[in-house]
Amino acid sequence: MTASLAPARAASNTLPILGPERPEDGRLVAGLIERAFGPGRYAKAAERLRERNAPLLDISFVAWSGVRLVGCVRMWPIHVGGTPAVFLGPFAVEPEFRSLGLGATLIRRACAAAGEAGHRLVLLVGDGAYFEPLGFTRVPPGRLVLPGPVDPARVLTLALQPGADRDLRGAVVAG
Ligand SMILES: CC(C)(COP(=O)(O)OP(=O)(O)OC[C@H]1O[C@@H](n2cnc3c(N)ncnc32)[C@H](O)[C@@H]1OP(=O)(O)O)[C@@H](O)C(=O)NCCC(=O)NCCS
């Protein structure tokens, strides 16, 4: 009998458990990111915002299926036009745990935690088709300058406080 090449689908009764990322999770997170994106596949602009920066672990989340880390989303301190904000990414889920809503749950959880921690705005570089249903909106082209080339249609924000995404202008920088 030929073994199926399709990845095994995670059973709904083994839905992963979320928790904040801990310092000791870094190696497993790096492995998941490497498998999901391959080496050097990040948008350069996003990587500029992460290098020489440190993730905000209290609002970065990982998903566990038993002892296996199967999902992650990281948040980073940035400034947008001189105002503090958080940058979201990378964001990945292991293939056999996809399309179960885990990705959306990670995004909602991290953004809710950011809001509770007092952050006002989340910015990311990603697909509107995925993130707009989660509440993110496009920044009008020409308003923000990221530290590298980026398709303006992929620059998305989520206001965590009313009006925090209004009239955004200026440089997006790490820290
Ligand atoms: C993006 C990712 C994290 C989503 O994880 P997930 O747990 O499957 O997410 P959800 O279950 O909430 O949503 C799944 C749905 O989103 C869709 N989707 C995934 N990536 C998408 C994208 N880039 N654009 C539009 N839709 C997308 C899937 O097709 C799926 O649709 P379906 O339910 O009709 O099958 C996962 O696909 C992944 O790790 N991809 C590789 C890394 C990556 O691209 N990260 C995002 C960078 S911005």
Q: Which domain holds residue 148?
A: 16-174
pLDDT in tens, the chain (175 residues): 333 334 455 554 568 999 999 999 999 999 999 999 987 666 789 999 999 999 999 999 999 999 999 999 999 999 999 999 999 999 999 999 999 999 999 999 999 999 999 999 999 999 999 999 999 999 999 999 999 999 999 999 999 999 999 999 999 999 9
Examine residue 6 and state whether it is found in any structural domain, yes or no. no
List Cα–Cα distances, 90 to 82, 118, 172, in angstroms: 23, 21, 17
Residues within a 6 A CB radius of ligand 1 = 36-37, 91-93, 98-104, 126-127, 129-130
> What residue's CA is closest to ligand 1, atom 29?
99
**By three-state DSSP, how is residue 106 classified?**
helix
CA of 114 to the centre of ligand 1 (A): 21
Examine residue 24 and state whether it is found in any structural domain, yes or no. yes
**The predicted structure's pLDDT at residue 39:** 75
The ligand 1 atom at the shortest distance from the C-alpha of residue 99 is: 11
CA of 21 to the centre of ligand 1 (A): 20
Beta-strand runs (E) in 32-129: 61-65, 68-80, 83-93, 121-125
The residue written with tokens 């391959």 in the block is 38
Check which CATH number belongs to the domain holding 81 and give it: 3.40.630.30
Examine residue 41 and state whether it is found in any structural domain, yes or no. yes
Q: Is the dihedral of CA 109, 116, 79, 167 positive or negative?
A: positive
Examine residue 2 and state whether it is found in any structural domain, yes or no. no
Examine residue 30 and state whether it is found in any structural domain, yes or no. yes
Q: Is the dihedral of CA 144, 148, 154, 160 positive or negative?
A: negative
Query: What does the DSSP 8-state code read for residue 138?
Result: E
Examine residue 8 and state whether it is found in any structural domain, yes or no. no
CA of 100 to the centre of ligand 1 (A): 10
Count of domains in the chain?
Answer: 1
Examine residue 23 and state whether it is found in any structural domain, yes or no. yes
